[in-house]
Amino acid sequence: MALLSVFTPVLAVVLCLVIGFVLVKSWDTETTSTSPGKSKGATKGEKRPWLDQDLQDDTEITAKEDDDDADDDWGDSAEEENLTQLPYSPQRYPEETMLQRSKEFYTLMNQRRSVRFISPEPVPREVIDNVIHTAGTAPSGAHTEPWTFVVVSDPDIKHQIRLIVEEEEEMNYRQRMGEKWVQDLAKFRTNWIKEYLDVAPYLILIFKQTYGILPNGKKKTHYYNEISVSISCGILLAALQNVGLVTVTSTPLNCGPKLRLLLKRPANEKLLMLLPVGYPATDATVPDLKRKHLDDILVHVSLQVCVEEC
């Protein structure tokens, strides 16, 4: 007991020193993470809510790329901050014309279907260029325009793409997707055989740019890149429907890295969607599907509703 009483003050001092050291370290860490100089490029461990994490392609990871969040890698695009503001006055239609145009556009888009039977008949390249140009009008986070559209018409490259997709898709159907997913697709009569990848005159592969490259070689943040590119894909589908072409939206699971390397795309690009594009085959068929009624997808929130229910 006497020995314990002698060491008790010493143990108390040591314990106080340890606690003090831990508190100082945690304070230093917090100060570092919130310092003004660290806000331009996200520091390691900092949450970046504009990033999309659902598609993974880590094939570009190297010793250098492992430190993606280091401040030295990210540039400052301050030269773009002061943009000239221009007058904007788009054409305005009478209400009757608006209603008519809205109905006509709905009728056009309601005819859009996913078509897996595509004709090999040639399509004017200028038409493809124009629909992609239209897709490029989509809004994007901080106007970074984080999209790359790769158009493939070479038969050999198309066939290599088909081989890559079918190899991975067979594994998806047999192993990765699970029994329920495969059963849910059975009614559409789909499988891992993708003949249309050879037949369609064009394949459009849409890549999202996870970051940009400034003229000085620094990385430029692309905010909400996947959401931005997804909006662009929607406009692309509407543009294809507008010119009478068909496609089937394809997100080839686990094919992105191989296709990116095949097409020699840089490490900052990740495959988001693959679209075979052309005219429908003369014997094309589609499943007899029904879309949801307007009442099932639309909710109007009015002032009266808020007063009574909010």
* pLDDT (average), residues 157-173: 86
Helices (H), the chain: 2-34, 95-110, 125-135, 155-171, 179-186, 196-199, 225-242, 256-262, 294-297, 303-309
Give the closest residue to 194 by CA, choosing from 247, 257, 258, 129.
247
User: 38-47, 150-159, 265-274: which range is least confident on average?
Assistant: 38-47
User: 115-119, 121-125, 185-189, 284-288: which range is least confident on average?
Assistant: 185-189
302: in domain? no
Cα-atom radius of gyration of the chain, to the nearest Å?
27
150: in domain? yes
Q: How many structural domains is the chain composed of?
A: 1
Is pLDDT above 70 for 54? no
Q: At what angle do helices 225-242 and 125-135 cross, to 10 degrees?
A: 140
32: in domain? no
User: Is the distance from CB of 120 to CB of 293 less than 8 angstroms?
Assistant: no
User: 2-11, 114-123, 175-184, 215-224: which range is least confident on average?
Assistant: 2-11
52: in domain? no
Domain assignment of residue 131, given as a range: 120-280
Per-residue tokens: 56: 């993974």
215: in domain? yes
Q: How many CB atoms lie within 10 A of CB 62?
A: 7
> Which pLDDT score is estimated for 167?
83
pLDDT digits (tens, 9 = 90+) for 90-128: 999 999 999 999 999 999 999 999 999 999 999 999 999
* pLDDT (average), residues 215-226: 91
Counting Cα atoms < 13 Å in the Cβ hemisphere of 241 gives 20
Q: What CA–CA distance (Å, rounded) separates 74 from 67? A: 11
* pLDDT (average), residues 85-93: 94
* Mean pLDDT score of the chain: 81
250: in domain? yes
* pLDDT (average), residues 229-238: 97
Is pLDDT above 60 for 62? no
> Which pLDDT score is estimated for 16?
57
Cα separations (Å) of 281 from 119, 165, 277?
4, 22, 11
User: Is the distance from CB of 247 to CB of 276 less than 8 angstroms?
Assistant: yes
Q: What CA–CA distance (Å, rounded) separates 22 from 14? A: 13
* pLDDT (average), residues 48-52: 58
**CATH classification at residue 161:** 3.40.109.10
Report the predicted TM-score, pTM, of the whole model to 2 decimal places: 0.76
Instruction: Please give the single-letter amino acid code of residue 35.
Output: S
Instruction: Please give the single-letter amino acid code of residue 220.
Output: K
Q: How many CB atoms lie within 10 A of CB 202?
A: 20
Give the closest residue to 162 by CA, choosing from 90, 252, 61.
252
